[in-house]
Amino acid sequence: MRITQGCFSFLPDLTDEQISAQVQYCLDHGWAVSFEYTDDPHPRNTYWEMWGHPMFDIRDAKAIMGELKECRLMHGECYIRLCAFDSTHTWESLRMSFIVQRPADEPGFMLTRQEAGGRNIRYETRAYVAEKPAGARY
Amino acid sequence: MDTSVFESTTVKGQDRYRAGVMQYRKMGYWEPDYEPKITDVIALFRVTPQDGVDPIEASAAVAGESSTATWTVVWTDRLTACEKYRAKCYRVDPVPNAPGSYFAYIAYDLDLFEPGSIANLSASIIGNVFGFKPLKALRLEDMRMPVAYVKTFDGPATGIVVERERLDKFGRPFLGATVKPKLGLSGRNYGRVVYEALKGGLDFTKDDENINSQPFMHWRDRYLYCMEAVNKAQAATGEVKGTYLNVTAGTMEQMYERAEFAKELGSCIVMIDLVIGYTAIQSMSKWARRNDMILHLHRAGHGTYTRQKTHGVSFRVIAKWMRLAGVDHIHAGTVVGKLEGDPKTTAGFYDILREEKNAVQLEHGIFFEQDWASTRKVLPVASGGIHLGQMHELLHLLKDDVVLQFGGGTIGHPLGIAAGATANRVALEAMVLARNEGRDIMAEGPEILNQAGRTCLPLRQALDTWGDVTFNYASTDTPDFVPVAVASY
């Protein structure tokens, strides 16, 4: 399966040229770009590992694409996402987030059901890869 | 209108309190020299007096009847600080291109209102005056809420930013669909639609306004099957999903019971209808805040009083009240869909819901500057006869912070519901990508969609089915002012 988190997951994987155009869009809006990676793609896994801090002071798409290249070299087997932060008052959060690298094989999630009282069911979503220790998943 | 009438006609001293009937404009409800205080609530009414009724007197009557006045002088006024409590009409303008109608600006002292109560505010402002005999028609057009009053409300339980954080969805409009047919599906069949639509790529599905607990589907059954669908779709996509479970019911106790059950089942969102009333809405907002729940409001019934320009309450006022009352989502029009919605008027509604400060924008129907004082933002929902062939227009007009709901346009897809959802999602992502790349989506929209359709069969089929459907009818609720070109120096 293909996990569809992020704002461009339904399109064919973006080329570096396309990613770079989105980076430029973020920079044009004054947002700080960062990369995060993980081998735990659970939909509620908020805190992916940070590839350094958000690049508040880098205003050049090329330099940012260079960081992505580095991140891919180290964590190419993981999911990597681009995040763009906006520090404007009353927003102060992400403006954009999309996956820029994904593992070749995405085994997906198991849904378990535990029958509870009445007709209630307790659901648990578990990534098949999460059975393995971190770092040995993909 | 003769401009020589723009002076105070208020009777002073003991003559003011002589028993009998006195014109409202003489009783202190017409004060053309009054300068509204920053703490005043201001209302703008469109007043259409009966033939022969003086517009100033009619406007003063609106001020009087929406504050302290009754039809005759009462001596008991003198036991109070009555000049403070009188609403003051301070400005009356003829409505452009509408002979016989006037815009009346009325200021209300903050002490006239109970803090944090839309019921009290509306009982004052619209409680009495709309049936007043000397008026042919009356419409509440806009209101300015002072920060001091805004701060007595909690505002949205979640707000746009936190909703995005909680659902991990950034950078594009949300996608939803209302389950169709509106009525008749069993719980089991209903959940099927939810599952297919969410698995196919939507973020949300939605109960319709009149899906409560009927013979064909009781509410508990719907909730249980819907949550099976939500969880299954979540596991199938690795993405957070939600379905607006309508908790609208006959009593507050029943609504709380339904909301508690939705929470117990792990739903991230519940919904209510506008017809439950302002107090019930505020109660549900408080409940949502206590229970980490997103609160969706369907504006069921609003068209009865918002649509006609001469009489009723403008939706921009309802939007302001609902931001204060504290809902997270509200239906606010689509412009291009099947329901009423002039583009500029609708833009005004969206600004009210999403901006931190509203500037005066007469061409959008916004008459007052409004400071929201960090009240969270409400996510507008565009629903009703929209389809993916309009994606470029929707993104251009409504921007990113909106839920685009394609009900028929998802469920009616020739290849099935999941394909319909996928087509919508691909069309949306392709359009956002293209816009961000700097392409002119209004000019190139159809081409961008066709291009995306080359690698997506469901999108191609959807374009073949609905590509050309439009709803072009003249709007009734339009702005009174158009931008005028003036020479710049």
- How does DSSP assign B118-154, residue by residue? HHHHHHHHSSSGGG-TTEEEEEEEEEE--HHHHTTS-
Round to whole Å and give the CA distance between B379 and B363.
22
For residue A73, pLDDT over 70 is answered with yes
Round to whole Å and give the CA distance between B246 and B218.
12
A89 contacts chain B (CB < 8 A): yes
Q: In the annotation, is B298 catalytic?
A: yes
Report the relative pairing of strands B204-206 and B242-246 from DSSP bridges.
parallel
Report yes or no: B66 and B138 within 8 Å, Cβ to Cβ.
Answer: no
Q: For residue A124, give how far its alpha carbon lies from the nearest alpha carbon of chain B (Å).
A: 8
Cross-chain CB nearest to B234 (options A22, A91, A125): A125
B168 contacts in chain A (CB < 8 Å): 5, 43, 46, 97
Cross-chain CB nearest to B235 (options A21, A111, A120): A111
pLDDT, position B487: 45
B172 contacts in chain A (CB < 8 Å): 7
Q: What is the pLDDT of residues B326-354, one digit of tens each?
A: 999 999 998 887 666 788 999 999 999 99
Q: Tell me the mean pLDDT in the region B59-87.
A: 94
Round to whole Å and give the CA distance between A64 and A69.
9
Q: For residue A21, give how far its alpha carbon lies from the nearest alpha carbon of chain B (Å).
A: 6
Which position among B199, B241, B263, B298 bears the catalytic label? B298
Q: For residue A54, give how far its alpha carbon lies from the nearest alpha carbon of chain B (Å).
A: 16
Q: Under 8 Å CB-to-CB from A93, ≥6 apart: which residues?
A: A85, A86, B161, B164, B165, B170
A9 contacts chain B (CB < 8 A): yes
Q: What is the pLDDT of residues B348-393, one digit of tens each?
A: 999 999 999 999 999 999 999 999 999 999 999 998 888 999 999 9
pLDDT, position B295: 98
Q: What is the pLDDT of residues B32-61, one digit of tens each?
A: 999 999 999 999 999 999 999 999 999 999
A41 contacts chain B (CB < 8 A): yes
pLDDT, position B1: 55
Q: Tell me the mean pLDDT in the region B394-408.
A: 95
For residue A18, pLDDT over 60 is answered with yes
B232 contacts in chain A (CB < 8 Å): 111
| Residue B478: pLDDT band with limits 50, 70, 90 | confident
Round to whole Å and give the CA distance between A3 and B43.
50
Chain B (201-260) residues lying within 8 Å, Cβ to Cβ, of chain A: 201, 220, 224, 227-228, 231-232, 234-240
A32 contacts in chain B (CB < 8 Å): none
Taking an 8 Å cut-off on Cβ atoms, the answer to whether B238 and A121 are in contact is no
Q: For residue A102, give how far its alpha carbon lies from the nearest alpha carbon of chain B (Å).
A: 13
For residue B413, pLDDT over 80 is answered with yes
B455 contacts chain A (CB < 8 A): yes
Report yes or no: B327 and B318 within 8 Å, Cβ to Cβ.
Answer: no
pLDDT, position B198: 98
Q: Tell me the mean pLDDT in the region A68-95.
A: 97
A25 contacts chain B (CB < 8 A): yes
Looking at chain B, the whole-number percentage of residues with pLDDT higher than 70 is 96
Look over chain B and give the mean of its residue pLDDT values, rounded to a whole number: 94
Of B171, B207, B105, the residue nearest B399 (C-alpha): B171
Q: For residue A70, give how far its alpha carbon lies from the nearest alpha carbon of chain B (Å).
A: 24
- Residue B24, CA atoms < 13 Å, CB-side half-sphere: 26
Q: Tell me the mean pLDDT in the region B307-314.
A: 95
Report yes or no: A33 and A27 within 8 Å, Cβ to Cβ.
Answer: yes
For residue B484, pLDDT over 60 is answered with no
Of B152, B153, B148, B151, the residue nearest B37 (C-alpha): B148
B318-to-B118, B306, B314, B415 alpha-carbon distances in Å = 10, 9, 7, 39
The structure's pTM equals: 0.95
Q: What single-letter amino acid sits at B475?
A: S
| Residue B4: pLDDT band with limits 50, 70, 90 | very low
pLDDT, position A130: 87
Chain B (261-320) residues lying within 8 Å, Cβ to Cβ, of chain A: 264-266
Which residue is closest to B265 within chain A, CA to CA? A120
Q: Tell me the mean pLDDT in the region B160-178.
A: 98
For residue B472, pLDDT over 70 is answered with no
Which position among B136, B151, B169, B180 bears the catalytic label? B180
Q: For residue A18, give how far its alpha carbon lies from the nearest alpha carbon of chain B (Å).
A: 8
A42 contacts in chain B (CB < 8 Å): 238
Taking an 8 Å cut-off on Cβ atoms, the answer to whether A7 and B429 are in contact is yes
Candidates B221, B237, B439, partner chain A, best to mutate (most A CBs within 10 A): B237
Taking an 8 Å cut-off on Cβ atoms, the answer to whether A10 and B422 are in contact is yes
Taking an 8 Å cut-off on Cβ atoms, the answer to whether A4 and B168 are in contact is no
Opening angle at CA A85, ends B266 and A82, nearest 5: 80
Report the relative pairing of strands A79-86 and A32-38 from DSSP bridges.
antiparallel
For residue B99, pLDDT over 80 is answered with yes
Taking an 8 Å cut-off on Cβ atoms, the answer to whether B234 and A25 are in contact is no
Taking an 8 Å cut-off on Cβ atoms, the answer to whether B429 and A90 are in contact is no
Helix/strand number for chain A, H first, E second: 2, 6
For residue B486, pLDDT over 60 is answered with no
Q: For residue B354, give how far its alpha carbon lies from the nearest alpha carbon of chain A (Å).
A: 10
A11 contacts chain B (CB < 8 A): yes
A91 contacts in chain B (CB < 8 Å): 161
CB pairs under 8 A between A and B: 111
Q: What is the ipTM of this complex?
A: 0.97
For residue B148, pLDDT over 90 is answered with yes
B442-to-B84, B146, B445 alpha-carbon distances in Å = 53, 38, 5
Q: Tell me the mean pLDDT in the region B286-308.
A: 96
Looking at chain A, the whole-number percentage of residues with pLDDT higher than 90 is 91
